[in-house]
Structure 1
Amino acid sequence: CFVRSRTGYLDQGILVRDVQKVFKRYKKNRIEMWIDLIACLPFDYLFELGLQTTNPCLRFNRLIRLQRVFKFTNTTEMCVSKPNLYRIFCVCLYILILIHWNACFYYFISGVLGIDSNRWVYGKANLQALPEGTEDSLSRRYLYSYYWSTLMLSNVCEVPWPIRSSEFIIVCVDLMFGVLIFATIVGNVGSMIASSEAARRDFQSRIDNVKRFLRHRNVNKNLIQRINNWFDYIWQQNKQAILDGQDDLVLSVLPTKLQAEIAMHVHFETLRKVRLFQDCEAGLLGELVLKLKLQVFSPGDFVCRKGD
């Protein structure tokens, strides 16, 4: 799990798991190999063995593998059935991680500037962090730091005002990052909502166009009601792709063989029920299903008439 010398890869669409081939390919990618090796080095333990003390900052080398998280999320997004919900989850997760990092940075700066040195850093002088009678525990330090980070990145700023020049700089940088994060959240969420509602808006636009046409042509109310019922049925049955006639367009990116397999899966049982095709070979049915076009009829419509 520390290095990727045993992670399979796709070669012309075939998953390769042979250890020697995988390791040979892994060695060719020098950058990833060195990133993994450097990230695995236990600098904190080596520092402790040499100087008999620890420094958590020496673990920062593990962060250079952060890009693997983004690769994982991108790969997972291709597999999930509801990508929009997954994207929203990822955005929320990234925000929580950024707030956590900022909270850790705040407590680190408090330690550098001096715990309890003034009312901005963490300590008893900061009555918001440690009111009288409150125990100074590790959980209290983390919770207040996380609270401070959340307020700063959300631009609420209901925290003690900075005193030193360095504290003013930190607050300004935090506020700027908060503005960028807020803009990113609004942009991502807005894009996801717009994407999820695009089909509904297009469907409603078509309905409005049809209604305007019917009013302009003075169509009788009975026919208008039948048309409205048909639109309701189509949307409730989630048949937007049928209405758009985009089935062929959606599947056109796939090779013909996969298109045939999908069509067989969808229409094969229906063809089997037709007496005309019951004695036909599977190969012929496979060719026929590619030619089928699904049509939706509302109750009371004639599917066909004698002589058609």
Structure 2
Amino acid sequence: MVKDPVLLRKNYIKNPFFIIDIISVLPTDLAYLFLGTQCHETVPCPVIFRLNRVLRLDRMFEFFNKTETRTNFPNAFRITKIIYYILILVHWNACFFFAISFSIGFETDGWVYQGSENLHDQYIFSFWWSTLTLTTIGETAQPIQDSAHVFVILDFLVGVIIFATIVGNIGSMITNMSAARDEYQSRLDAIKQYLVFRKVGDELETRVIKWFEYLWNNKQSLDEDQVMGMLPDKLKAEIAMHVHLETLKKVKIFQECEKGLLVDLVLKLKLEVFSPGDYVCRCLLRLETELCLVNSQF
């Protein structure tokens, strides 16, 4: 990874996006100090001075892609991103509606913009009209001009396609967010059915349910072997050392061991969860007894 600022600047200047980024951040908004923000029949709309901001689209998509791979809450970020996309589409559509209304003439018929010359009122009305049209959940005035008919037809088609896609994506993300919970619940239901079928006592059934609840509450229901299996051996070793090495050092028989041996032991560890009152070291004591018997024979 290159971190030298000089090399980074040279590489960025050679990048074709350098010119586009420069154009997109030019302070064209200063034109409003001279032209104002009023827009009516005798004064053209100065919105053209902000069109250079559209050149930031590629950077916006790049930001979303990088953030989605780095965030710890990918599903929540995806839903937020889709909501942001919806707002952008509604905003752009509102701008097109206002521009067509301006070209036809304000208040010339019942379809075009009806209202005051105040910028706030103009934007709110256009945004409201755009939301109703794209979502197809409300009724608007019947268009009169041919250009207005064409625009409304395109709006309906685009709105149906885009919002159907968005609703489908949101449904899939919500399903993914609850997938872990559904899998846990299905496993728990299967265990309950098995215990009932085998006529297991209430005490043992309660212990089993509490064990499952503990796994879920502590987020230990993940399949570590499946998750770690996607990583290379070096990363698996580093993660295992970070998770288990300090715990392993607390065991008295491993405190004087070399680090290489501890690393090998860490890679062999597997997560096991025991209920209160369970024997954890019974097998180790039996093994120690067997080793003593073997040594006594020699």
1:270 CA displacement:
1.2
| Matching residue of 2:73 | 82
Q: CA RMSD in A?
A: 2.9
Report whether the alignment pairs 1:292 with 2:269.
yes
* Counterpart Cα distance in 2 of 1:304 and 1:164: 85
* Counterpart Cα distance in 2 of 1:74 and 1:86: 11
1:145-172 deviation line (CA, Å, top 9, x unaligned)? 1111111111123322222232222222
| Matching residue of 1:240 | 221
1:117 CA displacement:
0.9
* Counterpart Cα distance in 1 of 2:25 and 2:172: 38
| Matching residue of 2:163 | 182
| Matching residue of 1:145 | 126
* Counterpart Cα distance in 2 of 1:154 and 1:223: 54
Distance of aligned partners of 1:151 and 1:54 in 2 relative to their CA distance in 1, 3 Å threshold: closer
What SS is found at the alignment partner of 1:205? helix
* Counterpart Cα distance in 1 of 2:122 and 2:45: 20
2:249 to 272, 278, 294: 272
Residues 16 and 22, structure 1, Cα contact 8 Å, conserved in 2: no
| Matching residue of 1:4 | none
Report whether the alignment pairs 1:105 with 2:86.
no
1:58 CA displacement:
6.6
Gaps (5+ residues) in structure 1? 1-13, 124-129
Distance of aligned partners of 1:120 and 1:87 in 2 relative to their CA distance in 1, 3 Å threshold: same
What SS is found at the alignment partner of 2:2? strand
Say which is worse superposed, 18-27 or 286-295, in terms of deviation: 18-27
* Counterpart Cα distance in 2 of 1:233 and 1:143: 51
Distance of aligned partners of 1:76 and 1:295 in 2 relative to their CA distance in 1, 3 Å threshold: same
| Matching residue of 2:37 | none
1:43 CA displacement:
9.9
1:141 CA displacement:
0.6
Higher helix share: 2
* Counterpart Cα distance in 1 of 2:234 and 2:220: 25
Q: What amino acid does structure 1 have at the position aligned with 2:140?
A: V
Gaps (5+ residues) in structure 2? 35-43, 288-298
Distance of aligned partners of 1:151 and 1:20 in 2 relative to their CA distance in 1, 3 Å threshold: same
Residues 44 and 55, structure 1, Cα contact 8 Å, conserved in 2: no
1:256-292 deviation line (CA, Å, top 9, x unaligned)? 3332222222112211211101112223222211111
Distance of aligned partners of 1:25 and 1:41 in 2 relative to their CA distance in 1, 3 Å threshold: closer
Higher relative contact order by CA 8 Å / sep ≥ 6: 1 or 2? 2
| Matching residue of 1:23 | 10
| Matching residue of 1:10 | none
The residue correspondences of 1:43-58 to structure 2 (distance < 5 A) are 56-57=47-48
| Matching residue of 1:160 | 141
| Matching residue of 1:8 | none
* Counterpart Cα distance in 1 of 2:8 and 2:54: 28
1:52-87 deviation line (CA, Å, top 9, x unaligned)? x99644754553441221111000111211111111
1:24 CA displacement:
4.9
1:230 to 211, 216, 222: 211
Residues paired across the two proteins, number: 274
Q: What amino acid does structure 1 have at the position aligned with 2:122?
A: R
Residues 153 and 175, structure 1, Cα contact 8 Å, conserved in 2: yes
TM-score under structure 1 length normalisation? 0.78
| Matching residue of 2:108 | 117
1:10-52 deviation line (CA, Å, top 9, x unaligned)? xxxx23535347635863x65x46655776799999xx9xxxx
Report whether the alignment pairs 1:282 with 2:263.
no
The residue correspondences of 1:203-222 to structure 2 (distance < 5 A) are 203-222=184-203
Distance of aligned partners of 1:227 and 1:68 in 2 relative to their CA distance in 1, 3 Å threshold: same
Distance of aligned partners of 1:109 and 1:234 in 2 relative to their CA distance in 1, 3 Å threshold: same
* Counterpart Cα distance in 2 of 1:285 and 1:179: 60
Report whether the alignment pairs 1:249 with 2:226.
yes
TM-score under structure 2 length normalisation? 0.80
Report whether the alignment pairs 1:259 with 2:236.
yes
| Matching residue of 2:60 | 69
1:307 to 278, 283, 286: 286
